[in-house]
Amino acid sequence: MFKKIITVSFVFIILINNYLRADEGMWIPLLLQKYNIEDMQKKGFKLTAEDIYSINKASMKDAVMIFGGGCTAELISDKGLIITNHHCGFSQIQDHSSLEHDYLTDGFWAKTPKDELRNPGLTVTFLVSMEDVTNQVLAGVEDDGEEGVRQKMIAQNIEKIVAQAIKGTHFQGEVKSFFYGNQYFLFVQEEYKDVRLVGAPPSAIGKFGGDTDNWMWPRHTGDFSLFRIYADKDNKPAEYSEENVPYKPKKHFSISVKGVQPDDFTMVFGYPGSTEQYLTSYAVDMIQNKINPYRIEIRQNIIDIMLEDMEKNPAVRIQYADKHASVSNAWKKWIGENNGLERLDAVNVKKQREAALTQWINQEDSRQQLYSYILPEFEKIYADYAQYSFAEEYFFEAVWRMESVKMAGRMKYLIEKGSEFTTEDVDKIRNSAKSFFKDYNIETDKKIFKALLSLYLKNVDTKFQPDFTKFIKSKYLPLTESEKLDEYVDYYFEKSFFLHEDKLMAFFDTYAKADYKKLENAPAYLFYKNFVNMYVTQIMPVVKSYDEKITNLNRFYMRALTMADTSKVFYPDANFTLRVTYGKVADYEPRDGVRYKHYTTLDGIIEKDNPDIYDYRVPQRLKDLYSAREYGIYAENGELHTCFIGTNHTTGGNSGSPVLNANGELIGVNFDRCWEGTMSDIMYDPAQCRNIALDIRYALFLIDKFAGAGYLLDEMSIVK
């Protein structure tokens, strides 16, 4: 009863404090005026909160977009030209690449608008406006009600709010939870669907250092690509059409070629995906000690196999380039994250904070009534939850990554149609299969399948292993023996005819009434079906019910944390909504006796040059430009800066985000974090956490001098 009263009138973020904060935090644009702008200006920012976010005039938010499903991009011309990372545009660049037109290797530059390449499915999304809708979302929702019931009501309320907000417009709407359901914001968005590829450097530049340098400093990656947004003649979103014209933005960023100095103010404005700053010690312990080590091991296996096959065969290199990059990215991050958590002694730090919180709770009866059950309850839950969470993670990391299993999943559609199918149904799956085979190498898949299955059998409790005996002939038992496993894998790949393109296409040519049974009986489908069934019955329901309990507890825990420290302004975890993070250009000391500079230069690329190592092959043209020192206006004291680092608190999703100076001019494009600081998703350390930005001057130099695409610079607003 009492709880209910406090929530509805619960004011979440509390006091503005004046003490100097560390550069931690991902701030809500709408609330900058209230909580941050003074601090930002004290740190050097020269503009106002309205310049960043406004619904009354053009502001920076009108120049920043979600790019595709998980990156950020920003406008850099009044003709709809946008810049993002090379790794964000990578799958599009790969899609347009073949052995004949290998844009991955050679780069791509559209000479005229006509040469720009369309990308079906690629969208960019603008934020039109945002609004606190907490009261509407929680209307009629009992604060201490059962979580499942609450969530249902909340979903209903959200549906109404969104419908109301976008009524009569072409906008999209979305409501997201902040501070674990203590606050809700509505986001009205506008999505453009005709986004064309304009330019990309060769991978030897855009991915220079590859996965060897990924997540590391010093870094020399020219990680950018250029796209252009097209609109209909009224400047509105439209499907691709030759009639479409370049989008006319409300605002685009000016580009500064003045460079950066240590301690300069910097700000990153983009879409951080997800962080977990307020986890309890129990949760951190589970991630660090139970989940991460196994995720790392699984992916290590996949990576080793992919790399081996990619080294041997250039066609496989193209097919698996994107897959390899995405598997190895999180793998390496988790290794860094675990190192960082260990170094910070994160579990114990959290334990100390929990002890302090408990002390605060015990000071007053009313607090005890509200909060004292929370931490003991967390402890109890995680003690059992960990095994389910582990099994779920294993299912997604191992089983769900098997390509044959993904293919089996595609066959499900036809199997469910049974004998009642149409030719369209068959064509649909045929097309989907064709796109699958474009990037599929069965030998690679087979090796990965074997490695992952054997890990699964070894590491996952038998209660989470489907009853193999039902569908694998007894001769393959026990499957844990390597020889038996080999036999089974051979059988699996041979008999799963839908993994062979020629066989499958011939099969579809004559597809008839009872043929779905052949799909259904293929070993890969049986495998898929049994595993999914096990997951859906044995793991998912338990995880879901624990998740509900945890969600509920987190909501009250978060409240307790904020009530206990009213002098602090809390920031919400990242949730792929637009955020501002600000800090300064800064070097750091990764270990005793070593200090990393805040920037790198082209000299470092030449230093790393090694024709024998794929990741370090420097294009001849870049070497020539280096020898001639042909840097033009992009040089600083005779050097060409390539990347720089700062204390901005960023995470995945911030890739492609604009890095801005005190005047709001573009000085860089965010693309990574330094390895020693990758635990910042869970615990930020001002001494170690650094974001990595491409120095915008390196991008301009590449467009101008390397690619000879200087005509693109003519449409940009460059501040000298």
Please list the active-site residues. Answer: 87, 223, 655
* Three-class SS state of 647: coil
For residue 269, give both structure tokens: 């404005």
Among 671, 684, 698, 706, which residue interacts with ligand GLU (rule: CB under 6 A)? 671
**Of 11, 52, 4, 49, whose CA–CA distance to 569 is shortest?**
11
By CB under 6 A, residue 87 contacts ligand ARG:
yes
H/E stretch holding 131: strand 124-132
What are the start-end ranges of the E strands in 102-182? 108-109, 124-132, 172-178
Give the binding range for ligand ARG (CB under 6 A) out of 233-241, 262-270, 298-306, 323-331: 323-331
Residue 12 makes CB contacts below 8 A (sequence gap 6+) with: 134, 179, 182, 183, 562, 570
Cβ distance to ligand ARG smaller for residue 25 or 210: 210
Binding of ligand ARG by 325 (CB under 6 A) = yes
Binding flag, residue 579, ligand GLU (CB under 6 A) = no
Residue that has been written with the tokens 């709770």 in this structure: 361
Task: Rank residues 65 and 88 by Cβ distance to ligand ARG and give the closer one.
Answer: 88
For residue 687, give Cα distances in angstroms to 258, 268, 655, 672: 26, 19, 22, 17
Phi-psi region of 263 (alpha: psi -120 to 50; beta: other; left: phi over 0): left
Under the binding rule (CB under 6 A), the answer on residue 285 touching ligand ARG is no
**Which of residues 65 and 71 has its CB atom nearest to ligand GLU in the complex?**
71
325 binds, among ligand GLU, ligand ARG, none (CB under 5 to 8 A by kind): ligand ARG
Nearer to ligand GLU by Cβ, of 183 and 654: the residue is: 654
Strands (E), 560-609: 579-584, 588-591, 594-596, 599-601
Task: Look up residue 317 and give its two tokens.
Answer: 């290199």
Determine the Cα–Cα distance for residues 274 and 77; give it in Å rounded to an integer. 30
Q: What are the beta bridge partners of residue 658? A: 669
For residue 288, the partner it binds in ligand GLU, ligand ARG, none, with Cβ less than 5 to 8 A by kind, is none
Please state the closest distance from residue 204 (CB atom) to ligand GLU, in A. Answer: 19
CB of 609 to ligand GLU, least distance (A): 24
Overall size of the chain counted in residues: 720
Chain mean position to CA 2: 40
CA dist 25 and 23 (Å) reads: 7
Maximum alpha-carbon separation in the chain? 77
Q: How far is the CB of 205 from ligand GLU (least distance, A)?
A: 17
Task: Report how far apart, in Å, the C-alpha atoms of 312 and of each of 4, 105, 306, 329 are.
Answer: 64, 17, 10, 22
Q: Segment near ligand ARG (CB under 6 A), from 177-185, 209-217, 418-426, 494-502?
A: 209-217
Residue from 277, 404, 642, 651 in contact with ligand GLU (CB under 6 A)? 651
Q: Does 178 bind ligand GLU (CB under 6 A)?
A: no
Residues 547 to 586 in contact with ligand ARG, rule: CB under 6 A: none
Q: Does the protein bind ligand GLU through residue 23 (CB under 6 A)?
A: no
Q: Considering only residues 55 through 84, tell me which ones interact with ligand GLU, judged by CB under 6 A.
A: 71
Give the one residue of 309, 397, 403, 672 binding ligand ARG; rule: CB under 6 A: 672
Q: Please, which of residues 224-283 interact with ligand GLU by CB under 6 A?
A: none
Least distance in angstroms from the C-beta of 273 to ligand GLU: 7
CB atoms within 10 A of CB 409: 15
Please identify the residue of the shown chain whose CB is closest to the bound ligand GLU.
655
User: How many residues lie near ligand GLU (CB under 6 A)?
Assistant: 10
Classified as helix, coil or strand, 719 is strand
354 binds ligand ARG (CB under 6 A): no
Instruction: From the list ligand ARG, ligand GLU, none, pick the one residue 507 interacts with, judged by a Cβ distance below 5 to 8 Å according to partner type.
Output: none
| Residue 211 touches which of ligand GLU, ligand ARG, none (Cβ within 5-8 Å per kind) | ligand ARG
Alpha carbons 225 and 87: distance in angstroms, whole number: 8
Our finding on whether 583 is near ligand GLU (CB under 6 A) is no
Shortest Å, Cβ 672 to ligand ARG: 4
Residue 672 is a binding residue for ligand GLU (CB under 6 A): yes
Q: Which region among 206-214, 376-384, 468-476, 546-554 touches ligand ARG (by CB under 6 A)?
A: 206-214
Question: ω before 218 within 30° of 0 (cis)?
Answer: yes
How many residues bind ligand ARG (CB under 6 A)? The answer is: 12
- Does 222 contact ligand GLU by CB under 6 A? no
DSSP string for 450-505: HHHHHHHHHHS-GGGS--GGGTS-GGG-STTSHHHHHHHHHHHHHH-GGGSHHHHH
Q: Which of 43, 450, 673, 690 binds ligand GLU (CB under 6 A)?
A: 673
Q: Is 200 in the site for ligand ARG (CB under 6 A)?
A: no
Out of 652, 656, 658, 677, which residue is the one contacting ligand ARG (CB under 6 A)? 652
Q: Select from 80, 173, 336, 653 the one that contacts ligand GLU (CB under 6 A).
A: 653
Q: Are residues 43 and 265 in contact, defined by beta-carbon separation less than 8 angstroms?
A: yes
Q: Does 210 bind ligand ARG (CB under 6 A)?
A: yes
CA 387 – CA 122 distance, rounded (Å): 38
Mapped onto helix, strand or coil, the DSSP state of residue 110 is coil
Which residues contact residue 10 at a Cβ distance below 8 angstroms, ignoring those fewer than 6 apart? 182, 559
92 binds ligand GLU (CB under 6 A): no
Question: How far are the Cα atoms of 38, 440, 700 from residue 412, in angstroms, in the given order?
Answer: 57, 19, 48
Q: Which does 210 bind (CB under 5 to 8 A by kind): ligand ARG, ligand GLU, none?
A: ligand ARG
Q: Kindly state whether residue 650 participates in binding ligand GLU, applying the rule CB under 6 A.
A: yes
45 lies in the binding site for ligand GLU (CB under 6 A): no
Which part of the chain contacts ligand GLU (CB under 6 A), choosing from 105-113, 474-482, 604-612, 651-659?
651-659
Q: Which value, in Å, is the radius of gyration of the alpha carbons in the chain?
A: 27
- Quote the least distance from Cβ 200 to ligand ARG, whole Å: 14
Stretch that binds ligand GLU, among 47-55, 346-354, 466-474, 646-654 (CB under 6 A): 646-654
User: Alpha helices of 265-373 — where are they, by DSSP H?
Assistant: 281-285, 292-312, 314-344, 346-362, 365-371
Q: How is residue 177 written in tokens?
A: 């939870």
The CA-atom distances, in angstroms, between 53 and each of 48, 578, 610 are 9, 10, 46
Q: Which residues bind ligand ARG (CB under 6 A)?
A: 87, 207, 210-211, 214-215, 325, 328-329, 652, 655, 672
Q: Which residues bind ligand GLU (CB under 6 A)?
A: 71, 650-655, 671-673
